Structure formats: structure tokens, C-alpha cells
Amino acid sequence: MDNLLEIAAALLPGVRLDRAIPAADGNVHDVLLIPGSAAVRVSKRPLAAAAMPRRVEVLRRLAGAGLPFQVPEPLTPVTMFGDRAAVAVSWIDGTALPEGAGSVAQIAEVLSAVRSVPLDGDLLAVLDTRPEGRHWAEIITADIVPRLPGRWQPEILRRLDAVLALEPVPDALVHGDLCGPNIHWSAEGELLGILDWDLAMPGDPALDVAAMAWHGWDTVRRAVPAEMFHRAHTWDALLGVGHLVACMNGRPMTNPDSFVRAVVPWLESQASRHPEPFA
């Protein structure tokens, strides 16, 4: 905490930090919340430090796109503190919905708002890192499947085939982590802002539909067309969309063993609740 306060003070001279609180522990960044003023994001590892300038540029371009919601706007340049990169971004008011809450109308509104963002050349240029890495399906077949317990290997290959057999759709802006904590609402139920665009990429909008299952699959089913719901379920059944997006858009698989340790309990949990795999 003290180190985060020192970084925040250096980035935001004159801003009071007596009410600053650390956010819940994240995998990629430490975040210090300064209510009403800013959030300070500090990379944990070299890969996140290297990626921060691109991620900040994505926020700049989104903020200037005339969106029907707020995004965190960079308030400072990306600044290095030793081997850690840090940036302060604007504060977004509102609160997130708890898991399992949210209406059909709210889910539909969020998905429509994200899909409304034009994936033009400038935004696409900073979002699309697919040419820089391997295809996500290759990562799954080469790095993930061989590390899974034997009984899961043929099943995951079957589910991968089901995803690859989906009818291709035009790329849209995909947030990549469109679950409850990253969506802020006013007390009156107005959509105020969407946070944490670190996983944003061009792709199938059904990925974001699957992430919205945070609010309940039955609610999502009523918020989107049947074909979109089928696509979302097919994507999610593969490895869980929250895991899957981490190896998409050209992102390297830096620790496949850790990835598998997270995925296997999810697979087992889904199998216990749904004996027939999603398709």
C-alpha cells in the first residue's frame, strides 16, 4: 500500500490521498482507488508494463469515440517506477451489480452499447495484436490440451471443433471482461461507465454475451437472439470465456500450467452441474 501511495503522489501531485484504498487484488495490475478523483494502475510484471502504453492508447481512442457510456480516461502519461509502469485514469462514479443481479433490459443495453462502438481503422490499429502472436486455437491444442487430465483432452478437442465450426461473423469490438464489477450504474439504473479494457480486442461479439452470464444464463438468453445465445454458449463451453479470452488476440501463453490449474476446477464444476456439455 505504501508503495502505491508513493506512486500515486508522484503521478498526481496535489491530489489528496487520505481516502485512497487498494482495489481487490488483480492478476496483472495493482490498483489504487482515489474516490471522486482517479484510479492509479501499476503493473505487476514486465509483460504488463510493456503492454501498458498500448492499453492506455486504447482508452484514449475509446474516450474520443462519442460513446454512450464513460471509459476511464488517462490523466497522466505512462510512467516507469523502476520496472513497474503506472498511469492514473479518471474516476467513474456508480456501482456494479452483484453477481446474479441485472435485468434483461440492462444486459441488452450494455451489449448494444459496446457493439455500437465503430471498429474503425485507428481503433483497430491499437486493438488488433493477432499478427504478433499465435492463433488462439493453436495455443489450446499445443499448450493447453496436453496438460489437461486425460479424460478432458478429447472432450476439449470436440468443443474446440464446435467453436471452429461456428459460422464466421464480422469482427466487432469485444470488451473481453464484460462482467458485473466492470460495469457501473447510477442509483436510478442508468449505465454510467465500463471499466477495465485490458482484454479488449476485435472478435465475435458473442464472447461478450458469454461474459454477461455473470448475471445468469437464463437472463442472458432473454436478452439476445437465439443464434447469438448459441454462439455464446459454444464459446463458453470450451474453457470458460473468462479463461479463453486470456489467450486470444495474439496474447502469449506465458504460464500454461497456471492456466490449466485455473481451468480444470471450472471444467469439473460445470460437469457436476451440467452432465451434458454445452454445444
**Which 8-state DSSP code applies to residue 25?**
P
- In angstroms, rounded to a whole number, what is the distance separating the alpha carbons of residues 243 and 213? 14
Q: What is the pLDDT of residue 1?
A: 58
Q: Is residue 211 within 8 Å of 181, Cβ to Cβ?
A: no
Beta strand pairing status for 29-34 and 21-22? antiparallel
For β-strands 29-34 and 38-43, DSSP reports them as: antiparallel
Residue 203 C-alpha from the chain's centroid: 13
Per-residue pLDDT of the chain (279 residues; tens, 9 = 90+): 569 999 999 999 999 999 999 987 777 899 999 999 999 999 999 989 999 999 999 999 999 888 889 999 999 999 999 999 999 999 999 999 999 999 999 999 999 999 988 888 889 999 999 999 999 999 999 999 999 999 999 999 999 999 999 999 999 999 999 988 899 999 999 999 999 999 999 999 999 999 999 999 999 999 999 999 999 999 999 999 999 999 999 998 989 999 999 999 999 998 876 545 443
Q: Measure the CA–CA gap between 261 and 66, rounded to whole angstroms.
A: 41
Instruction: For residue 250, give the DSSP letter.
Output: T
CB proximity list for 225: less than 8 A, separation 6 or greater: none
In this predicted structure, what is the pLDDT of residue 245? 96
- Cα four-point dihedral sign 40, 41, 46, 50: negative
Give pLDDT, residue 273: 66
Rounded Cα distance between 245 and 182, Å, is: 16
Q: What is the pLDDT of residue 243?
A: 95
- Cα 78 to Cα 30, 38, 52, 61, 89: the distances in Å are 15, 14, 7, 15, 10
Using CA atoms, how far apart are residues 172 and 200, in angstroms rounded to an integer?
Answer: 10
Domain positions in the chain are: 2-90, 104-273
Which pLDDT belongs to residue 279? 39
How far is residue 130 CA from its own chain's centroid? 16
Residue among 259, 229, 235, 261 at smallest CA distance from 160: 235
Report angle CA 170, 176, 181 to the nearest 5 degrees. Answer: 140
Q: Under CATH, domain 2-90 is a member of which superfamily?
A: Phosphorylase Kinase; domain 1 (3.30.200.20)
Tell me which fold the domain 104-273 belongs to: Aminoglycoside 3'-phosphotransferase; Chain: A, domain 2 (3.90.1200)
pLDDT of 212 = 95
Domains 2-90 and 104-273 share a fold: no
